[in-house]
Amino acid sequence: MRPEMNSSALVELLLWFEGAGIEVWLEGGWGVDALLETQTRAHKDVDIILRVSDVPALRELLSSRAFSEQPGGTPSNFVLAHPSGLEVDVHAVTFAPNGDGIYRMANGADWAFPAEGFGGRGAVNGRAVRCLSPDIQVLCHAHGYVPVEKDLHDMELLQQRFGVELPPQLKRGQA
């Protein structure tokens, strides 16, 4: 059976981060579910955005709880995995003066998470959380990789709930 990052496990992680003074924003599947304020599907991991300056504290915190860094990452994007199989997919940014989150991609180029995206708010198990806004979730899903069925499902839910416009590659049957 595949391990699941359920809402209780996620809230526990978020409490650890909060206790260590690490501010994170949820993105990806849990970011979508937080915006919808309900878990809509199973998740193996959680995708987080945090400041580059908080990466050492995050590594130390999760290492002390048996998470280890997986091979193949970069300084700004890496996965920390627990022996149970749960994973934290880390995306580290440096905030520009205008509030954009500048993310260094594996190819060395910079990509900017627009500042307005960091204003997203949602809930997990009734607990308020920071997450990327619906529009920026769509933007992130439309660039950098080929969406799979779960991504199309997530984007469809954002469109239904928030009325966000989906580009063709994020619509079923049009990719």
Establish how many alpha carbons lie within 13 A of residue 24's alpha carbon, considering only the half-sphere containing its beta carbon. 28
Of 153, 123, 119, residue with least CA distance to 33: 123
pLDDT at position 174 = 62
Q: Is residue 173 part of a domain?
A: no
What residue type is assigned to position 151 of the chain?
D
Q: Is residue 79 part of a domain?
A: yes
Lowest mean pLDDT among 7-21, 45-59, 136-150: 136-150
- Percentage of the chain lying above the pLDDT 70 cut: 98
Q: Report how far apart, in Å, the C-alpha atoms of 20 and of each of 11, 15, 61, 144 are.
A: 14, 9, 8, 31
Instruction: Tell me: pLDDT of 145 over 90.
Output: no
Q: Is residue 126 part of a domain?
A: yes
Instruction: Tell me: pLDDT of 1 over 70.
Output: no
The stretch 39-49 carries a mean pLDDT of 95
Q: Report how far apart, in Å, the C-alpha atoms of 57 and of each of 20, 86, 142, 148 are.
A: 7, 19, 31, 32
Task: Please give the DSSP secondary-structure letter assigned to residue 167.
Answer: P
pLDDT tens readout for residues 6-39 = 999 999 999 999 999 999 999 999 999 999 999 9
Is residue 141 within 8 Å of residue 155, measured between CB atoms? yes
Q: Is residue 99 part of a domain?
A: yes
Q: Is residue 69 part of a domain?
A: yes
Residue span of the structural domain in which 150 resides? 7-167
Residue predicted with more confidence, 147 or 116 = 116
Mapped onto helix, strand or coil, the DSSP state of residue 88 is: strand
**Strand partners of residue 124:** 127
Instruction: Tell me: pLDDT of 116 over 80.
Output: yes
With a CB cutoff of 8 Å and minimum separation 6, the contacts of 91 are 27, 47, 48, 49, 50, 76, 77, 103
The pLDDT mean for the chain works out to 94
Q: Is residue 174 part of a domain?
A: no
CATH number of the domain to which 104 belongs? 3.30.460.40
Q: Is residue 2 part of a domain?
A: no
pLDDT tens readout for residues 53-104 = 999 999 999 999 999 999 999 999 999 999 999 999 999 999 999 999 999 9
pLDDT band (50, 70, 90) for residue 49:
very high
**Total structural domains in the chain?**
1
Q: Is residue 75 part of a domain?
A: yes
Is residue 142 within 8 Å of residue 158, measured between CB atoms? no
Task: Please give the DSSP secondary-structure letter assigned to residue 62.
Answer: H
The terminus-to-terminus CA distance of the chain in angstroms comes to 30
pLDDT band (50, 70, 90) for residue 113:
very high
